[in-house]
Amino acid sequence: MSVIAEHAPDVKITIVDINAARIEAWKSDNLPIYEPGLKDVVEKVRGKNLFFSTDVEGAIREADIVFVAVNTPTKTFGQGAGMASDLQYWEKTARNILAVSDRSKIIVEKSTLPVRTAEAMASILNSNDKGIHFEILSNPEFLAEGTAIRDLEEPDRVLIGSAQTPEGLAACREVVDLYARWVPREKILTTNLWSSELTKLTSNAFLAQRISSINSISALCEKTGADVSEVAKVMGQDQRIGPHFLKASVGFGGSCFRKDVLNLAYLCEHYGLHEVACYWKSVVDMNEWQEKRFVLRMLENMFNTIASKRIAVFGFAFKADTGDTRESPAYYVVKELLAERAHPVITDPKAIPEAKKDLADVLDQVEFTEDPYEAAKGAHAIALCTEWKDFKALNWKKIYEGMEKPAFVFDGRNLLDAGKLKRLGFQVFQIGK
């Protein structure tokens, strides 16, 4: 919304949330999330045409277009628990929009939703006797955390799905015109509603599938002496395969991949496509196996016991350049280390506050420090879980000197120069090597 506000100074955008603390943070100097470049954009437009408020009803009443970006987590109860999307926040929002509106509006689905959600929303919103009409559009977001501003400023594509009726197409044109202020027209793609909803799920599923595919090959590389980075590099030169998203790792994390792939599998089951569901579910299974394998490899190489050993966990965010820790492989690693009665010490440049919240139930068994040298001091091993560039630039000689010997590095992101570390005396293990 900040980026839209930046490019459309004549459009007034009000961001509302029921969480007052969050809204206050958005109004302050300390934004509630870390995202490179975001603060500059917010500061440029805040108070001009971008406003933050807790007056949800007032903002809905005033708006011509409502973007709904409430969360759609994996359902934790009842039918579809652990796989389906929990749509209760979306439905409550739809009912709220209906209750307070006194004129027709365009409602834009920004949240990631199961295919055909718009149908349910349309029937809730248009079941009114106020004589007003709501046109529902789907405009899924493709930005990735850590590169969000760049992804929004120069998107590969913007997708807008609408009903193929005159009203649906007219609403679609309004939102196309909004993006067209800075996105070249040929990159703004329009489809029917269901294609748009499904494209978001399948885009994430394909990305996650690439990581699980290369991670599965990483296991084979470790057995055979092939090097997964070399394999991926050469494969990626084939234009049909492409070089991106082929980095073997300790596993993928983040709030989207696991949730969306499981949701896709659930939808397939719902439509009786059991084999298709199994195919996609295996992407998540492979990810869990990869995380497990990482800790097992640590254990095996550290003489099958890590009990009471200090282990420095380098990085807790699910990827570099974010403070977000949702579904982070580091969380799984720490939990497994604790199950082995090791003593994890977590270091991360941005994610310590979130890590403390995630590990609230085991705070007495874990240490946190922003200083990686302190984390590694007296440690038997380093488990590198996040590819923060800062880690690469550390003085590894100094780190080696402070550690117990033999000093192990398990590089879950293939970030470090293994040759250099080995020359310093480290025992180095990388993914797929």
Of 172, 221, 256, 268, which is the active-site residue?
256
Interacting residues with ligand UGA between 196 and 215 (CB under 6 A)? 204, 207, 211
Q: Can residue 253 be called a binding residue for ligand UGA (CB under 6 A)?
A: yes
Q: Can residue 289 be called a binding residue for ligand UGA (CB under 6 A)?
A: no
Which range, of 92-100, 124-132, 135-143, 421-429, touches ligand UGA by CB under 6 A? Answer: 135-143
Q: Give how many residues touch ligand UGA by CB under 6 A.
A: 20
Q: In what order do the strands lie in the sheet with 105-109?
A: 65-68, 105-109, 134-138, 158-162, 188-192
Q: Which of 117, 196, 249, 414 touches ligand UGA (CB under 6 A)?
A: 249
Q: Annotated catalytic, 268?
A: no
DSSP state of 85: B
**Omega of the bond leading into 406 within 30 degrees of 0 (cis):** yes
Q: How far is the CB of 55 from ligand UGA (least distance, A)?
A: 27
Q: How far is the CB of 258 from ligand UGA (least distance, A)?
A: 10
Q: What are phi and psi of 282, to 5 degrees?
A: -65, -20
Interacting residues with ligand UGA between 336 and 355 (CB under 6 A)? none
Interacting residues with ligand UGA between 92 and 131 (CB under 6 A)? 112
Measured from the CB atom, is 84 or 207 closer to ligand UGA? 207
Residue facing ligand UGA at closest CB distance = 254
| Cα angle: 336, vertex 306, 400; to 5 degrees | 110
Query: CA-CA distance, 312 to 331, in Å (whole number)?
Result: 13
Which range, of 20-28, 47-55, 63-71, 248-256, touches ligand UGA by CB under 6 A? Answer: 248-256
Measured from the CB atom, is 109 or 141 closer to ligand UGA? 141
Pair 231, 221: CB distance under 8 Å:
yes
Q: Which of 26, 67, 179, 252 touches ligand UGA (CB under 6 A)?
A: 252
Q: Which two tokens stand for residue 57?
A: 């009803």
Query: CA-CA distance, 272 to 268, in Å (whole number)?
Result: 6
Query: CA-CA distance, 85 to 27, in Å (whole number)?
Result: 31
Pair 298, 306: CB distance under 8 Å:
yes
Q: Which of 254, 372, 412, 432 touches ligand UGA (CB under 6 A)?
A: 254
The amino acid that residue 129 corresponds to is: D
Q: Can residue 80 be called a binding residue for ligand UGA (CB under 6 A)?
A: no
| Residues 172-209 as b or e (16 or more Cβ within 10 Å = b) | beebbebbeeebeeeebebbebeebbbbbbbbbbebbb
Site of interaction with ligand UGA (CB under 6 A): 112, 141-145, 204, 207, 211, 245-247, 249, 252-254, 256-257, 318-319
Catalytic residue ranges: 256
